[in-house]
């Protein structure tokens, strides 16, 4: 009989288990590009363009660090914490097309946009005990 909750299958798809299954994970929440991202060690994610070359190291100050049942959230707790990452490359987001049409005046305008991202890989989450 198969288990009711197969964590290996979920991790292969990039999903994270919720609730009681997260007690052994260490993760952090970082702020970059005006957005907050939940990151774990070894995870790759696309963030707003950092202006760093491929292979360079980048450091983020976490907003929150969770180590099993221990949660570090106050500025005093997070004073020595940091998230180290390595820039793996750059990526482009999906193309967004816009169109404006004004009725009865033949007014129409069309534009497109494709956002550029830096792909980073989280190498370590360090916290001062």
What band does 29 get if pLDDT is binned at 50, 70 and 90? very high
pLDDT in tens, 57-78: 999 999 999 988 889 999 998 9
- Would you say the pTM of this structure is higher than 0.75? no
pLDDT in tens, 76-126: 989 989 999 999 999 999 999 999 999 999 999 999 999 999 999 999 999
DSSP per position, 71-110: EE-STTTTTT-EEEEEEEEEEEEEEEEEEEEETTTTEEEE
Q: Read off the DSSP letter of residue 128.
A: -
Burial of 52 (0-12, 13-18, 19+ CB in 10 A): middle
């Amino acid at each position: 009989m198969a288990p009711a909750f197969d964590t290996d299958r979920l991790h292969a798809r990039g999903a994270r288990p919720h609730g009681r299954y997260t007690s052994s994970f260490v993760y952090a929440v970082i702020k970059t590009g005006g957005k907050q991202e939940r990151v774990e060690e070894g995870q790759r994610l696309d963030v707003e363009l950092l202006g760093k070359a491929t292979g360079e190291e980048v450091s983020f100050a976490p907003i929150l660090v969770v180590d099993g049942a221990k949660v570090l959230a106050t500025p005093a707790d997070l004073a020595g914490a940091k998230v180290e990452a390595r820039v793996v490359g750059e990526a482009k987001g999906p193309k967004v097309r816009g169109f404006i049409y004004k009725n009865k005046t033949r007014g129409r305008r069309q534009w497109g946009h494709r956002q550029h991202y830096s792909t980073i890989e989280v190498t370590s989450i360090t916290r001062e005990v």
